[in-house]
């Protein structure tokens, strides 16, 4: 498990290769196995593989989402705010579970933050995605995870770069 965490990096360039249905089914199962507070599972996932729709999602915010246009798949991670007040945490857990599962089977991913980001002067990134995907208002958008076969290689962060000073024993 530690080797998976050591090797995983955010990937923003992808090949043209598309994952087959078995790979997508594996990702679906993995994300549905994500833990959630009190087992409420407030998340919903929209798997997007249509290039034109990915291109529209890529413009959800002015910075940090354009690379989604080149991905084979984008998974929009949403939470039903009516079910629990910790939908943000549950969706964040599901997002990283999806990223780790994808990495484990040879795919690259990158988290695209949507919640609390802007699309333009009058619309939030979340509202833009909600309208584009016809999501109900109560279904909040936490993130989009871009997924594809990597077209870039990144070295793991060296152990020496880890901020061990942020770890405290017994008290701060």
Query: pTM for this one?
Result: 0.96
State pLDDT tens for residues 51-95: 999 999 999 999 999 999 999 999 999 999 999 999 999 999 999
113-144 b/e (C-beta count within 10 Å ≥ 16 → b): bbbebbbeeeebbbbbbbebbebeeebbbbbb
Q: List pLDDT tens digits, range 133-156.
A: 999 999 999 999 999 999 999 999
Residue pair 19/49 in contact by the 8 Å Cβ criterion: no
Query: Could you give all domains of the chain from N- to C-terminal order, each with its CATH number?
Result: 33-149 (3.40.109.10)
Picking from 73, 59, 85, the residue whose alpha carbon sits closest to that of residue 15 is 73
Q: Is the pLDDT of residue 1 over 90?
A: no
Tens of pLDDT, residue by residue over 27-61, are: 999 999 999 999 999 999 999 999 999 999 999 99
Distance from chain centroid for Cα 153: 19
């Amino acid at each position: 498990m530690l080797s998976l965490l050591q090797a995983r990096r955010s990937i923003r360039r992808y090949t043209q290769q598309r994952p087959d249905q078995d790979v997508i089914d594996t990702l679906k199962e993995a994300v549905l196995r994500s833990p959630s507070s009190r087992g409420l599972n407030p998340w919903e996932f929209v798997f997007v593989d249509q290039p034109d729709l990915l291109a529209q999602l890529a413009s959800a915010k002015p910075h940090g989402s354009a690379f989604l246009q080149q991905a084979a798949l984008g998974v929009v991670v949403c939470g039903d705010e009516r079910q629990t007040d910790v939908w943000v945490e549950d969706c964040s857990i599901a997002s990283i579970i999806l990223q780790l599962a994808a990495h484990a089977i040879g795919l690259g991913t990158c988290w695209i933050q949507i919640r609390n980001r802007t699309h333009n002067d009058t619309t939030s990134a979340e509202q833009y995605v909600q309208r584009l995907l016809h999501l109900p208002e109560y279904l909040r958008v936490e993130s989009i995870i871009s997924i594809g076969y990597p077209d870039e290689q990144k070295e793991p962060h060296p152990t020496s770069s880890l901020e061990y000073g942020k770890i405290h024993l017994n008290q701060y």
